[in-house]
Chain A
Amino acid sequence: MTTAVADAAHHVEHGPAKGFSRWLFTTNHKDIGTMYLIFSLTMFFVGGTMALIVRSELAQPGLQFVHPEFFNQMTTMHALVMIFGAIMPAFVGLANWMVPLQIGAPDMALPRMNNWSFWILPVAFCMLLSTLFMPGGAPAGGWTMYPPLVLQTGDSFPFLIFSIHLMGLSSIMGAINIIVTIVNMRTPQMVLIRMPLFAWAWLITAYLLLAVMPVLAGAVTMLLTDQFFGTSFFLAAGGGDPVMYQHIFWFFGHPEVYIMILPAFGIVSEIIPTFSRKPLFGHDSMVYALAAIAFLSFIVWAHHMFTVGMPLSGQMFFMFATMMISVPTGVKIFNWASTMWRGAMTFETPMLFALAFVFLFTIGGFSGLMLALVPADIQYHDSYFVVAHFHYVLVPGSLFALMGAAYYWLPKWTGHMYNETAGKVHFWLSAIFVNVLFFPMHFLGLAGMPRRIPDYSTQFADFNMVATIGAFGFGLSQLIFVYVLLTCKKGPPATAEVWDHPKGLEWTVPSPAPYHTFAEPPKVDRTVAFPKDYD
């Protein structure tokens, strides 16, 4: 995919440099976007391997493969790698590629910072993954890093903290870049509210990142000083409170959940109109819904802590605020359904992933609504029901949106159509196995299986076996995606539009997108954010 970009670039005066230094020193948003995407795909397979180790151990009761210590390291690292290494960088990569193309900007506003924000990531993850080989092993206290347990981590503890600092730094720099690009570099006639939904979703996500990544940095810094510098932020003996960590962490953690889903909403809002051949229903209310979700994400954090001991009034407030999130989320689902309504739909791979997103994310939303009911949450909390819930919103949610985005824009990036049959096979296997993998977890949780345990009572054996089969099916299906990427260059050449009259500036540039685009700001119609004569 990357060489295709290079091939196309000889039309332009300043083409890319040759060799490795091109990638190390590049300030081109397309190169950086590509690096982000490849990095996140790599991390997706690393985190996926860890998930398969977890699922292998859980296939049957009794310990077959790993010690409980290593099991805990795997669950912890799987979460950290998938959240900070796979999902978030993949969205940043898409933003790098597509935001300038969608708003008619020649590049990102701060190209050198863009380069740094990417190259910090491989360093951070080398550091994080190196902890697997340290005395005492990798962090095993869960990705939430609750004290006092996390303070029992061995030599890897400071490396964990520093790698999180680096990931946060990278995210913050990326977010600043995206905000400045969107605010200052839109083509003159593009009115903010009319901006494409993916750019809008990223603008709001970037603000969320700026608001909460520093708070996470603060929380882990307090862990570090508690461990090494004699403070007692979270140590009861010194007047601290371990529960305070949970409040600060989830003040970061809940917006973090939306950081991982809002860009997915944006992607789906791009794909569904294209393949329904109809404008997006309620563009403005989609923007308001995004903003409402972002706002609500700051006042619901304690719903992760209903079992911690909280005054009744607090529980009621957080229950109600949490339930309110389903209102703007519902608006989005209804708007997507209305976009499809009386359209002329076709079902290419990106559309299939977007549709599966709408259906399966909604299931994750439903279990979220059930989780908001405090007495029921007391049963669900820290059980496999929660594992099912957040995997439904993150895998057939965020990940499916990412896959849909990759198929949607791949012809624009490479100049070639991917293998549609392989794409469809990839989709159907993923969609089937993701349910085989995660749906039984609802039943396990309701029947009483806690999360983060390496072994379980025999009554849970059957559904665990089903989930493990689903895990291997799902994991192996992703190799088809690699096949699609590797064979993409052999596909027929893509037109500039790629699809059937999609709307948006990115479809006005040739495929593959030249190394430099929009040196002159393109003209767009104020009311629709793309050229009027274009239709």
Chain B
Amino acid sequence: MIRKSLTGLIGLVWAGGASADWALNMPQGVTDLSQETYDLHMMGFWVCTVIGVLVFGVMIFSLIKHRKTSGVAPAKFSHSTSAEVTWTIIPVIILVAMCIPAAKTMIKLEDTRNPDISIVVTGYQWRWHYAYQDQDLAFYSSLARPSLEARQLGSTIDPYSVDNYLLEVDRPMVVPVGAKVRVLLTSNDVIHAWWVPELALKKDAIPGMVNEIWFRAEHTGTVRGQCAELCGKDHGYMPIVVEVVEPDEFDKWLTANGGTPKAVAAAAK
């Protein structure tokens, strides 16, 4: 409710603005789990909205009705055990009910079994390194040249003229569609975090430690993300680009870049 009215308000003020990109909500993403995460987020949002409408509604009613200027004498009551017990117990029930679907999704998020591809992703100050475990391919992935030039202080290049400003890399990570991709995260120096909103994945890359996450992209296309843990001066300049392609295209990409295609990609299909 608040969200809508506020956006409406801003919308009015800014009506007719140039190619505005007023994205309001979390992306639903390209994996089943990103959809589940989105649904949980919306569940949380609607529960809060309903409670908010009720509680704020009562308060607003009170603010309008129970003012001194309307000539009412203040009531004297100062407690009500039954009311207090009620509004302690009902929230507990709501919260337990919210935890159940969240727990189900959490179990799925942890299920890294049977991956088709394992990729070790290493955070560096300030770029990412991708190593395909069984395909003999490893490379660094840094902020693309056009963004790099436009991002400098005093640069005369308009960021709007750069495609995917700050979200483009020189060498993207490529994965086959439908394959279960396991991402092993670690870091070379400080803590980074690998975040791709469309995959609903974020995990810290910690020096001396390995973390794992997984995804199975359902559609071909390109998804983008960024480092999400403050890692020094160029923290804002280490984007992530994941290209989801057809399995045969993935094999071609591997061969073209000096990797060895394995049967796994085809098996995913």
Contact = CB atoms under 8 A, between A and B. Distances in A.
Chains A and B touch each other in the complex, with CB atoms below 8 Å apart: yes
Interface of A: 61-69, 72, 140-142, 146, 148-149, 152, 236-237, 241-243, 276-285, 307-309, 312, 315-316, 319-320, 323-324, 326-327, 330-331, 333-335, 337-338, 340-347, 355, 358-359, 362-363, 366-367, 369-370, 373-376, 378-379, 381-383, 435, 439-440, 442-443, 446-448, 450, 452-463, 466
18 contacts: A61-B160, A149-B232, A236-B209, A278-B77, A307-B203, A308-B204, A342-B72, A344-B74, A345-B63, A345-B67, A375-B106, A439-B6, A443-B22, A446-B41, A448-B195, A448-B197, A450-B195, A458-B21
A42 B55 CA distance: 36
B258 interface: no
Nearest to B49: A366
Interface residues of B, number: 104
B41 A379 contact: yes
Interface stretch (B83-91, B130-138, B214-222, B249-257): B83-91
B106 A316 contact: yes
A198 B162 CA distance: 55
Nearest to B36: A375
Question: Secondary structure of the A side of the interface?
Answer: helix
B88 A327 contact: yes
Interface of B: 2-3, 6-7, 10, 14, 17, 20-27, 33, 36-37, 40-41, 43-45, 47-48, 51-52, 55-56, 58-59, 62-63, 66-69, 72-80, 83-84, 87-88, 91-92, 95, 98-99, 102-103, 105-107, 109-110, 150-155, 158-160, 164-167, 189-191, 193, 195, 197, 200-204, 206-209, 211, 225-237
B209 A243 contact: yes
B233 A69 contact: yes
B191 A149 contact: yes
Contacts of A140: 232-233
Contacts of A342: 62, 66, 72, 74-75, 77
A444 B6 CA distance: 14
A68 B230 contact: no
Nearest to B61: A341
A309 B68 contact: no
Given A285-B79, A307-B202, A466 B10 contact: yes
Contacts of A337: 55, 58-59, 62
B103 to A, nearest CB: 6
Nearest to A462: B20
Contacts of B227: 450
Given A370-B44, A370-B48, A375 B63 contact: no
A378 to B, nearest CB: 5
A453 B238 CA distance: 11
B84 A448 contact: no
Contacts of B208: 236-237, 241-242
B206 A355 contact: no
A172 to B, nearest CB: 28
Contact of B2 (A282, A312, A347, A363): A363
Contact of B230 (A65, A72, A461): A72
B84 A282 contact: yes
B79 A283 contact: yes
Residue with the highest number of chain A CB atoms closer than 10 Å, among B78, B165, B203, B209: B78
Given A345-B68, A460-B21, 5 more contacts: A63-B155, A278-B78, A344-B72, A379-B197, A382-B228
Contact of A327 (B45, B79, B91, B154): B91
Nearest to A150: B190
Contact of B68 (A142, A346, A366, A463): A346
A309 B209 contact: yes
Given A149-B232, A308-B204, A446 B26 contact: yes
Contact of A283 (B63, B75, B78): B78
Nearest to A62: B159
A280 to B, nearest CB: 7
Contacts of B159: 61-62, 455, 458
